[in-house]
Amino acid sequence: MTTVAWDGKTLAADRRMAGYMTTCKIFPIPGGYVAGAGTMDQLVEVAAWLQEGGDKPRLPDDPESEFIVVRGSEAFWLSWPYLREVRIREPFAALGSGAEYALGALAMGADARTAVAVAAQFDPHTGGGVDAVDIS
């Protein structure tokens, strides 16, 4: 899995993929960004759909992935099975296997980058560095 964090200004994600490889899990979309946790195939499919439009991707009935979409100053969680954007009203959010660690760090005042770095210290599925985009 992975860890994604949103602090109201910055969207951050770790880079670990398949246990030993690294990649960026934050993708630009029209008007914002999407980041996800779970399988890379599902993240790439959802990112391509948000970038290009068209039919929603066909994901497994029991997907392992979840997503945060940021447009402007608003963040949304993509719900399954319809991939509808559900507005996140909290000042911060996190998802993925290290979400609980990241949420604890965010609640203590950490920014999103630091929250993902904290999660990487404790969650074996989070690591490889942190990518982040600042939303202005």
What residues does each domain of the chain span?
Answer: 3-127
Classify residue 43 by burial, with Cβ atoms within 10 Å: 0-12, 13-18, 19+.
buried
- For the residues 90-107, what does the mean pLDDT come to? 97
Give the pLDDT confidence score for residue 52 in this predicted structure: 95
CATH top class, domain 3-127: alpha beta
Residue 5: name the closest of 106, 77, 109 by CA.
106
E strand or H helix at 46, and its extent?
Answer: helix 40-52
**pTM exceeds 0.85 for this model:** yes
pLDDT beyond 90 at 19: no
Give the pLDDT confidence score for residue 23 in this predicted structure: 96
pLDDT beyond 80 at 63: no
Give the pLDDT confidence score for residue 119 in this predicted structure: 98
Other CB atoms within 10 Å distance of the CB of residue 20: 8
Contact 90, 63 (CB under 8 A): no
Q: Which residue has the higher pLDDT, 55 or 60?
A: 55
E strand or H helix at 85, and its extent?
Answer: strand 84-87
Give the pLDDT confidence score for residue 60 in this predicted structure: 77
Beta bridge partners of 6: 11, 93
Which band of pLDDT confidence, cut at 50, 70 and 90, is reported for residue 59?
Answer: confident
Contact 105, 3 (CB under 8 A): no
